[in-house]
Structure 1
Amino acid sequence: MRYIVGYTDTPSGEDALNLAVRLARSMQRGLDIVIVLRSEARATLVPVDAGYEKYLHEAAEEWLHRALTLVPNDMDAKGHIVYAESFAQGLLDTSRDLEGRMIIVGAARGGLLGRFTIGSVANSLLHSAVVPVALAPQGSVAEVGLEGISRITVAVGTRSGAKELVDAGILAARASRVPLRLVSLVALDADGVDTPPRVRAQAEEHAAKTVAYVAEHLPDDIDVTVLTASGSRVEDAVAALEWDPGEVVFVGSSRLAQPRQLFLGTTAAKMLRELPVPMVVVPRDSILTVED
């Protein structure tokens, strides 16, 4: 299994590459570093300058070589230059052709340190991808360096796709041998103001069942903890949680998504505003199971 990283010769591209290295190292995956150039067959009223096209391709080769030098020598990494109508489409096509299991990109620049600003590429992927998409927030990855991840947090609820999300978290924790934390969002699914006692009890019951399911599929030496998020806003609940600089959060896709596709839901979008760590968005009917 390999991960696809969308690379550009920018700080955002380096954020994506750093996160990709951490994920791939922890989960023992190979990396395909992809630079996307605009398609040579694109419609245009201006004749294509062959000299410029050659210059751009040579520049991309230099960027790709530099990216590969940033990957530790003991890791399996390959570079690719592809042509497509858009950066997002190039990554989607490459992921399909190479059977990638995850696409990793950086967030747009301009947000607060460690916070997400969703750019056009990430937005397109989050509405079209059929595999998980990992987003690296500005600056947070660089603080950790090229080490592996330290903890997996899964934001669980009861809506469609919850089991597939938990399975993805189990697979990640099992592959990387790191603790798994479950944050129950049942109390926030009600979209009310303060969490009523009945809803909190429902959240705690759901969390207990989820922990039991997780325990059946994880080795005894991997710690599992559970928290119940509560509050009048998702943003407040997320901001109140303790976050390890080296962890990654898994969230589910919206129930509005097409089969085996992503669609960033309201809860995940709100979480993005406060998360200081990378987020992985998992399709609501992911084909991965805990038996894989």
Structure 2
Amino acid sequence: MRYVVGYAANARGGDAINLAVALARRQGATLDLVMVMPEDSPYNGVYPPVSGIGDILAEQISTWIDEGLALIPEDVPAQAHLRRGESEAEALIAAAEELGAGLLVIGASSTGLFKRFSIGSVASSLLHASTVPVVLAPAGYSRTEPITRLTCALGTRPGAEDVLQTGLAMAKQRCLPLRLVSLVALGPGESTATVDQAHAHLRSVAEASHNLDPDDLDRPEIDVVVGQGRTIEDAVDGLNWKKGEILLIGSSRLAHNKSIFLGSTANRILRALPVPMIVVPRNFEFSIPEASS
């Protein structure tokens, strides 16, 4: 398994590396550090480029790549790639597809609410176009120990089954416990009946997943939890999050097939989420790679 890390020579790049290391250690994956160098274009401020500038820039980026590789522990295999492109997001998606990456890991900006998540231009483009699952590290993410639990956010609309199957496969592959969560915003005058319905739905989903293959001894341990509050943000904040946890969420129904589109609910979740998030493309089919001989 290979994970592409969209690296930048700043704190955001360090956050992405730390999270990628934590994910790789759980699965024995190889990291591909990718930096994108601007492509010469007549639409740039200076064109044609001043003589020698390209070589200087390439040398500086090479130095940054070496510094990024130095952040990766020796027990995690890693290599670096320099790509050119007018769009950093497009270049990262192309690299992830070409390398057969299972995940594309990036860092958030440091200006988010409570310094958790703020989506910059590159992250926004990836979260609305990537054909590869995108993993977003919160600002200041420093943990490099293996991930300890996978939480899967499920709704009741069509498509939730696909997200559940992806969560089950990811948890099984990584030998992780799986938590299914539903987030309920209770407005004025709303009763707890909505919460009870959410609990019942999650339990039925968990039972149905078990009935699909009741003899599977490797199926992950599943827990179900409903988060509630006045808003989605309150519901997220009220859940118990472990330090080594990561949240899996699906794309909006507005997404093209096999592509990501971050919906409004996911955006609201990001405002309060204290752990990393994986966003999977619509109708994403998770496949477990064959062991190399």
Give the TM-score taking structure 2 as reference length.
0.90
CA positional deviation for 1:118: 0.7
Same amino acid, percent of matched pairs: 40
Match of 1:181 in 2: 179
Between 1:106-115 and 1:273-282, the stretch displaced more is 106-115
**Offset at residue 37 of structure 1 (A):** 0.7
Residue 20 (structure 1) shift: 0.9
Check whether the contact 2:178–2:222 (CA below 8 A) recurs between aligned residues.
Answer: yes
Q: 1:290, CA displacement in angstroms?
A: 8.1
The alignment status of 1:130 with 2:128, answered yes or no, reads no
- How far 1:43 moved relative to its partner? 3.5
CA distance in 2 between counterparts of 1:238 and 1:147 reads 24
Q: How far is 1:135 from its partner? A: 0.5
Which of 255, 258, 261 lines up with 1:260 in the alignment?
Answer: 258
Distance 1:219 1:15, change over 3 A: farther
Quote how far apart the aligned CAs of 1:198 are. Answer: 4.4
Give the counterpart of 1:148 among 135, 143, 146: 146
One-letter amino acid matched to 1:26 = R
User: How many residues are aligned here?
Assistant: 286
Q: Is the CA contact (8 Å cut-off) linking 2:237 and 2:272 kept in structure 1?
A: yes
Distance 2:282 2:77 in 1: 29
Distance 1:116 1:197 in 2: 30
Q: For 2:138 and 2:68, how far apart are their aligned partners in 1?
A: 19
1:170 corresponds in structure 2 to 168
Paired residue type of 1:177:
C
In structure 1, distance between residues paired with 2:11 and 2:209:
37
Partner residue, 2:198: 203
Q: Name the amino acid aligned to 1:138.
A: A
Deviation (angstroms), 1:247: 0.6
Q: What do you get for the CA RMSD once the two structures are aligned?
A: 2.3
**How far 1:137 sits from its partner (Å)?**
0.8
How far does residue 47 in structure 1 lie from its aligned partner after superposition? 1.9
* Structure 1 residue runs without a partner (length 5+): none
User: Who is 1:233 aligned against?
Assistant: 231
Q: Structure 2: state its 5+ residue gaps.
A: none
* Contact 1:168–1:290 (Cα < 8 Å) also in 2: no
Q: Is the 8 A contact 1:28 1:175 kept in 2?
A: no
How far apart, CA to CA, are the structure 2 residues paired with 1:51 and 1:258? 42
Greater Cα shift, 246-255 or 72-81: 72-81
1:212 maps onto 2:212 in alignment: no
Taking the aligned partners of 1:42 and 1:31, their CA distance within structure 2 comes to 34
Q: How does 1:26-175 map to 2 (within 5 A)?
A: 26-41=26-41, 43-44=43-44, 46-139=47-140, 141-142=141-142, 144=143, 146-175=144-173
Provide the TM-score with structure 1 as the length reference. Answer: 0.90
**TM-fit CA distance, 1:88:** 0.8
Change (3 A) 1:231 1:157: same
After TM superposition, give the deviation of residue 24 of structure 1 in Å. 1.6
User: Are the equivalent residues in 2 in contact too, given 1:193–1:231 (CA < 8 A)?
Assistant: no
Per the TM alignment, residue 220 of structure 1 is displaced from its structure 2 partner at its CA by: 5.6
Once residues 50 and 106 of structure 1 are traced to their aligned partners in structure 2, the CA distance between those partners, rounded to angstroms, is 33
Q: Which amino acid aligns with 2:30?
A: G
Tell me the distance in 1 between the aligned counterparts of 2:68 and 2:94.
21
Task: Specify the alignment match of 1:281 in structure 2.
Answer: 279
* 8 Å Cα contact 2:89-2:126 kept in structure 1: yes
The amino acid that maps onto 1:130 is T
Question: Can you list the C-alpha shifts for 1:91-130, whole angstroms capped at 9, x where unaligned?
Answer: 0111121122211110012224551111111100011011
